[in-house]
C-alpha cells in the first residue's frame, strides 16, 4: 500500500492501477482476487483430503472444491498450541509439513478465518484413528453458528397437530446454522396422541455451487408420515427432488430462473384400504423483482399413477402473477393480479378413498394435494371446517364452493389489493373463471375481503358470488370461509430458505 500511495498521490488512480501496483510489489498473479473473488459471486472452499506419514514430517493433501483458486494457510496444532503454519500457493494440492503425526493433534485450513470460506466444516483434520474429519458433537438449542471445531446439532421442541393425529409433540434436530453446510438435514419425530404412534417429517439435502450456468443445485429427500383417519390409518411419502437456480456468478440481476424436479412414492392406509401411488412433476419459475414491480411466471407438468389399478392423471398447469406497489411511502400498499390455466390430458380416476385427480376452481383440497406439498389439518375431509383449507393453485378462487371441478381444463384470473389507511394484512379480492366439464363451458365469479399474514396464513370472506356457486351466500356462511396454511418446513428446502 505504501508503493501505491507514493505512486498515485495527488492523482486519480483507477481500480486497475491498484491491481498493477499490488502485482508488481508482490511479484504474483492476483487474478484470483480481482477477477474471481471481487467481481463475481464465486466461492472459496478448500478441504483436507488425507494426511500421510513421511520419513521427515507429513504430507497433507488438500483439494479446492470451490471456484476461486486462491492461496490458503495450513495451521498445525498440538492441542491448543499452534506449532507450525504453512503458506500454500494457488494450485498446490500437496503440502509438506515438518511435524509428524506424533507431534500434532489437529490440522486446520485458515484457523484465523482470514479467508471468506463458505464451508469450514471440511477444514479440520484431527489426529485420531477413526473418523479424523469429524469433530466432536455439540448440541445447541434452536440455532447458532456452525463451529469449525465442533459438529453442531441444533434442536428445539416441536408441537403440532391435525384432525387424525390429534396433538403431536416431539423434537426437531437440524444443522442449518450459519454459515450453511452443503449437507443439511432436518429430522422432526413426533408422538401422535390421537393414534398412539410415531409421526413426523424430515429432509436431507446436499447443495452444490457450480461455477457456470447454475448458481445453486440441490438434491434432496423429503419424508412424511402422518395419520389419515382413525388410529390405524396413516400415510407415508418418500419424495426425492432436484432443484436448480440458473444463472452465472456475475453481478446480481433482478431476474431469476429456477427448476424443480420431484418424484414421489406415497402409501395411504385409510378405511382399511391400502393405496400406493408413484408420480413426478417438473416445475419452471421465472421471476423479476424490482422495487415497485414483482413478476412471477410458473409452468408445471404433473403425472401420478396408482399402483393397484389403472387410475392415473397427467396435467399441465401455468400461472403468472404481477404485483405493483401503488403506495410507496411508509404506508406502502400492493396490488396483485394473477392468471391461471390448467389442462388435464390423461385422466382415469375411479371412486374410492384415495386422492382426487380432478382440478378445483377453489384450489386443491387435501386429497387433491397429490405430492403432499402442504401441511394439511384435515387432509381427507370433504365437509366441515377442515375441508375449507385449500391450496393456492388451479383456479385459486377465494371460495370453498364445490362448483368448478373439472377433469378437462379451467382458466381464471384473481385480483387482490391491499387497502390504504387500514392494516395492510386486509384487502379486497375478486375472482373470475371458466371451466369445461366435458359438455359445457361454465363461467363463475366471486368477490370479498381477505386477510393475508406473511404468506403463511390467508383467510377469505366472500360476499358476492355467481348464482351457479350457490343462490344464498350467507346461508351457513361459516362454511364459505376459505383459508390457506403454508407450514411445511421441509419440502423443497423451505426451512433452509428461511435460515440461510
The pLDDT value given to residue 320: 98
Query: Is the domain of 436 the same as that of 375?
Result: yes
pLDDT band at 495 (very low <50, low <70, confident <90, very high): very low
**Whole-prediction pTM value?**
0.84
Residue 308, C-beta contacts closer than 8 angstroms, at least 6 positions apart: 274, 275, 276
- Cα–Cα distances (Å) from 241 to 248, 276, 299, in that order, read 22, 19, 17
Query: Is the domain of 217 the same as that of 202?
Result: yes
pLDDT value at 2 more than 50: yes
pLDDT band at 488 (very low <50, low <70, confident <90, very high): low
- Residue 404 contacts residue 397 (beta carbons within 8 Å): yes
Burial class from Cβ neighbours inside 10 Å (0-12, 13-18, 19+) for residue 105 reads middle
- Four-point Cα dihedral 19, 20, 26, 27, nearest 10: 130
pLDDT band at 355 (very low <50, low <70, confident <90, very high): low
Q: Which of 134, 169, 203 delimits the end of a domain?
A: 134
Half-sphere exposure of 330 (CA within 13 A, CB side): 0
Indicate whether 373 belongs to any domain: yes
Task: Give the mean pLDDT of 185-196.
Answer: 94
Query: Is the domain of 309 the same as that of 367?
Result: yes
Query: Is the domain of 8 the same as that of 129?
Result: no
pLDDT band at 442 (very low <50, low <70, confident <90, very high): very high
Indicate whether 141 belongs to any domain: no
Query: Is the domain of 288 the same as that of 415?
Result: yes
- Residue 415 contacts residue 343 (beta carbons within 8 Å): no
Task: Give the mean pLDDT of 35-64.
Answer: 85
Query: Is the domain of 297 the same as that of 333?
Result: yes
Bridge-partner residues for 74, per DSSP?
Answer: 86, 109
pLDDT value at 352 more than 60: no
Query: Is the domain of 485 the same as that of 455?
Result: yes
Indicate whether 400 belongs to any domain: yes
Indicate whether 308 belongs to any domain: yes
Indicate whether 329 belongs to any domain: yes
The pLDDT value given to residue 497: 44
The pLDDT value given to residue 498: 40
Query: Is the domain of 24 the same as that of 77?
Result: no
Q: Which of 73, 107, 134 delimits the end of a domain?
A: 134
Half-sphere exposure of 10 (CA within 13 A, CB side): 0
Query: Is the domain of 63 the same as that of 191?
Result: no
Task: Give the mean pLDDT of 2-9.
Answer: 68
pLDDT band at 351 (very low <50, low <70, confident <90, very high): low
Indicate whether 451 belongs to any domain: yes
Task: Give the mean pLDDT of 440-468.
Answer: 95
List the domain range (segments joined by +) for residue 219: 180-499
The pLDDT value given to residue 33: 80
Indicate whether 209 belongs to any domain: yes
Indicate whether 163 belongs to any domain: no
User: 53 or 187, which is more confident?
Assistant: 187
- The tens digit of pLDDT for each residue in 206-254 reads 998 887 788 899 999 999 999 988 777 899 999 999 999 998 766 678 9
CATH number for the domain that contains residue 297? 2.40.160
Query: Is the domain of 299 the same as that of 386?
Result: yes
Task: Sort strands 312-327 and 333-348 into parallel, antiparallel or unpaired.
Answer: antiparallel
- Percentage of the residues of the chain whose pLDDT score is greater than 70: 93
- Highest mean pLDDT among 60-74, 173-187, 450-464 belongs to 450-464
CATH number for the domain that contains residue 100? 2.60.40
- Mean pLDDT of the chain, nearest integer: 88
**Domains in the chain, number:** 3
Query: Is the domain of 413 the same as that of 280?
Result: yes
- Highest mean pLDDT among 113-122, 204-213, 256-265, 370-379 belongs to 256-265
Query: Is the domain of 30 the same as that of 125?
Result: no
Q: Which of 69, 100, 134 delimits the end of a domain?
A: 134
User: 137 or 185, which is more confident?
Assistant: 185
The pLDDT value given to residue 500: 37
The pLDDT value given to residue 126: 86
pLDDT value at 404 more than 50: yes
Task: Give the mean pLDDT of 144-159.
Answer: 85
- Residue 269 contacts residue 233 (beta carbons within 8 Å): yes
pLDDT band at 76 (very low <50, low <70, confident <90, very high): very high
Cα(143)–Cα(496) distance, rounded to whole angstroms?
12
Within 10 angstroms of residue 208's Cβ, the number of other Cβ atoms is 12
Amino acid at each position: 500500500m505504501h508503493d501505491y500511495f507514493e505512486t498515485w498521490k495527488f492523482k486519480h488512480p483507477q481500480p486497475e492501477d491498484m491491481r498493477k501496483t499490488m502485482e508488481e510489489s508482490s511479484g504474483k498473479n492476483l487474478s484470483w482476487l480481482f477477477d474471481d473473488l471481487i467481481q463475481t459471486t464465486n466461492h472459496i472452499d478448500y478441504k483436507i483430503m488425507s494426511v500421510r506419514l513421511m520419513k521427515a514430517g507429513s504430507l497433507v493433501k488438500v483439494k479446492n472444491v470451490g471456484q476461486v483458486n486462491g492461496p490458503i494457510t495450513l495451521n498445525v496444532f498440538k492441542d491448543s498450541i499452534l506449532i507450525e503454519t504453512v503458506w500454500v500457493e494457488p494450485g498446490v494440492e500437496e503440502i509438506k509439513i515438518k511435524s509428524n503425526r506424533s507431534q500434532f493433534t489437529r490440522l486446520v485450513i485458515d484457523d484465523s478465518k482470514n479467508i471468506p470460506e463458505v464451508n469450514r466444516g471440511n477444514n479440520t483434520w484431527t489426529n485420531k484413528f477413526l473418523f479424523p474429519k469429524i469433530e466432536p458433537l455439540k448440541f445447541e438449542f434452536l440455532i447458532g453458528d456452525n463451529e469449525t471445531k465442533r459438529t453442531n446439532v441444533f434442536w428445539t421442541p416441536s408441537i403440532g397437530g391435525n384432525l387424525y393425529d390429534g396433538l403431536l409433540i416431539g423434537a426437531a434436530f437440524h444443522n442449518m446454522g450459519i454459515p450453511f453446510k452443503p449437507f443439511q438435514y432436518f429430522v422432526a419425530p413426533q408422538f401422535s396422541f390421537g393414534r398412539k404412534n410415531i409421526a413426523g417429517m424430515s429432509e436431507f439435502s446436499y447443495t452444490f455451487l457450480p461455477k457456470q450456468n447454475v448458481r445453486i443445485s440441490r438434491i434432496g429427500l423429503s419424508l412424511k408420515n402422518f395419520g389419515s383417519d382413525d388410529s390405524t390409518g396413516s400415510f407415508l411419502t418418500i419424495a426425492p427432488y432436484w432443484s436448480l437456480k440458473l444463472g452465472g456468478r456475475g453481478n446480481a440481476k433482478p431476474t431469476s430462473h429456477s427448476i424443480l424436479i420431484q418424484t414421489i412414492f406415497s402409501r395411504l392406509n385409510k378405511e382399511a384400504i391400502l393405496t400406493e401411488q408413484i408420480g413426478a412433476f417438473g416445475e419452471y419459475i421465472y421471476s423479476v423483482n424490482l422495487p415497485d414491480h414483482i413478476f412471477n411466471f410458473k409452468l408445471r407438468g404433473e403425472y401420478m399413477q396408482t399402483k393397484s389399478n389403472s387410475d392415473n392423471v397427467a396435467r399441465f398447469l401455468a400461472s403468472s402473477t404481477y404485483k405493483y406497489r401503488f403506495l410507496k411511502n411508509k404506508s406502502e400498499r400492493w396490488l396483485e393480479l394473477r392468471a391461471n390455466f390448467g389442462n388435464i390430458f390423461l385422466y382415469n380416476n375411479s371412486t374410492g378413498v384415495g386422492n382426487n385427480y380432478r382440478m378445483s376452481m377453489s384450489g386443491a383440497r387435501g386429497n387433491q394435494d397429490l405430492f403432499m406439498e402442504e401441511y394439511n389439518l384435515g387432509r381427507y375431509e370433504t365437509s366441515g371446517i377442515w375441508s375449507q383449507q385449500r391450496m393456492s393453485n388451479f383456479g385459486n378462487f377465494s371460495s370453498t364452493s364445490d362448483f368448478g371441478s373439472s377433469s378437462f381444463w379451467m382458466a381464471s384470473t384473481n385480483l387482490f389489493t391491499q387497502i390504504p389507511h387500514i392494516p395492510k394484512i386486509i384487502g379486497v379480492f375478486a375472482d373470475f373463471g371458466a371451466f369445461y366439464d366435458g359438455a359445457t363451458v361454465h363461467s363463475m365469479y366471486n368477490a370479498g375481503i381477505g386477510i393475508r399474514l406473511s404468506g403463511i396464513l390467508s383467510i377469505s370472506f366472500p360476499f358476492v358470488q355467481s348464482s351457479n356457486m350457490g343462490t344464498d351466500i350467507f346461508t351457513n356462511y361459516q362454511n364459505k370461509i376459505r383459508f390457506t396454511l403454508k407450514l411445511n418446513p421441509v419440502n423443497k428446502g423451505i426451512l433452509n430458505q428461511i435460515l440461510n
